[in-house]
Amino acid sequence: EAQLVESGGALVQAGGSLRLSCATSGFTNGEYAIGWFRQAPGKEREGVSCLSMTDGSTYYTDSVKGRFTISTDNANKTVYLEMNNLNADDTAIYYCAAAEGPYYYCSVSDRWYDVWGQGTQVTVSS
């Protein structure tokens, strides 16, 4: 059974950085896509970034472009979300999600994904 476990969330000051991790297990092959999503209190879930493990293609939503970087460590089967220059609007629970492929693209539509982690809290103080 495919599973995802997020970690790395914390309380950080505005302008600071965090690296979130998404540990993957149980996938039948390495051909899947990973998405990072976030949900702030009272708001809908928002797709932040995604990565195709098949061809390495990535996508970032406009609000995080230039500040967030998605990457993977294939040996450790972990996907990371490096977040820099954080601001209060980045405060949310962050989730990673997976869709088994292969996929030569990725999407930040949450309907595309069928495996979800439990989430990790990121709080940015101003």
What pLDDT score was predicted for residue 22? 98
Give CA–CA dist 74/122, Å, rounded: 25
Give CA–CA dist 13/3, Å, rounded: 31
Tens digit of pLDDT for each residue in 52-109? 988 999 999 999 999 999 999 988 899 999 999 999 999 999 999 999 888 889 999 9
3-state secondary structure of 85: coil
State the average pLDDT for the chain: 95
Per cent of the chain over pLDDT 70 is: 100
What pLDDT score was predicted for residue 29? 79
Give CA–CA dist 77/63, Å, rounded: 27
Q: Which residues pair with 44 in a beta bridge?
A: none
What pLDDT score was predicted for residue 27? 87
- Residue pair 116/5 in contact (Cβ under 8 Å)? The answer is no
Q: How many CB atoms lie within 10 A of CB 27?
A: 18
